[in-house]
Amino acid sequence: MLPTDLTNASDGPPPGSSAYYALLRCAPPQRAGLTALLRFHVQVRAIATTVSDLSVAQAKLAWWGAQLDAMERGTVEHPTLRALAPFALASGLRAQALHGVIDSVQLDLQQNRWMDRPALLHYAKTGSGQTLRNSAVLLGLSGEVALALVEQLGVGLRLVSSIRHLGRDAAQGRIYLPLDALRRHGVTAAQLQQRRMEAGVATLLAEQSTLARQSIEQALAGLTPFARTQTAPLRALGAMALALLREIERADYAVLHQRISLTPLRKLWISRTCR
């Protein structure tokens, strides 16, 4: 259920993706609701990278916000939200909780740098953290303790994605790493944009990987008491992200020129065997 595992036109996560294997851990009705939620997330997130005119992007976000309000009233038009609506109603997921992804795109439109770790964590929590929290509601989890842990897991997944896609994002002018951490390791944004794997980059990414791993491991440990039927797909996502981090570490954090991935077979194995 990683947002990057869906595309605007897809009916669901493509075979071989982390989301595809995570969704296999839940019942078909839950799978349909989660697929609609993730499709909504990706369709809104795409505005940040595909719309260059700020006024047009703002108008699109406003339209999505109006569609969420319409979903609350039962008059939504967009097919993705129409597909999501019955699952949201059955689980008690309010449309207001879906505004997080819109807010995260607003942040992307306002800035492409993050001054420090709290700023980056706020961004990750607003988008991916909230979407995974919403996923947990659709899975039947309730209570602030459980939902906060899932939100933390979502933040950790976003941090892993930031490391994995550093080269691609930097080439597009976006640096999803704290600027104070860059300065501490003697790394500049220009160095990352030019994909120069020089001194400091590996230690910077090692530090960020440790923080991402801690976020995921703490969240997974906290979710242990909760029903496996409700947490299995979330645990699968966390386990696959941790395995991906290990691969990135083995490659000496060479993410500026390549996209490091797990094979589909390995993802399948992890998703089936994780506890």
- The whole-number pLDDT of residue 11 equals 62
Rounded average pLDDT over 122-149:
97
pLDDT of residue 9: 36
Question: d(Cα 149, Cα 171) in Å, to the nearest integer?
Answer: 33
Q: pLDDT tens across 29-68, in order?
A: 899 999 999 999 999 999 999 999 999 999 999 999 999 9
In the three-class reduction of DSSP (H, G, I as helix; E, B as strand; rest coil), residue 178 is classed as strand
Q: Is the pLDDT of residue 208 over 80?
A: yes
How does pLDDT run across 241-259, given as a tens digit for each residue? 999 999 999 999 999 999 9
Residues in the chain: 275
- Sorted by where each starts, the structural domains of the chain and their CATH numbers stand as 3-273 (1.10.600.10)
Judged by average pLDDT, the poorest of 5-14, 60-69, 142-151, 201-210 is 5-14
- Mean pLDDT of all residues in 113-126: 96
- The confidence band for 93, taking pLDDT boundaries of 50, 70 and 90, is very high
User: Quick one: pLDDT band at residue 275, thresholds 50, 70, 90?
Assistant: confident
Per-residue DSSP letters for 56-99? HHHHHHHHHHHHHHHHHHT---SHHHHHHHHHHHHHT--GGGGH
| CA 49 – CA 169 distance, rounded (Å) | 10
pLDDT(1) > 80: no
Q: The pTM is what?
A: 0.93
Note the pLDDT of residue 15.
Answer: 87
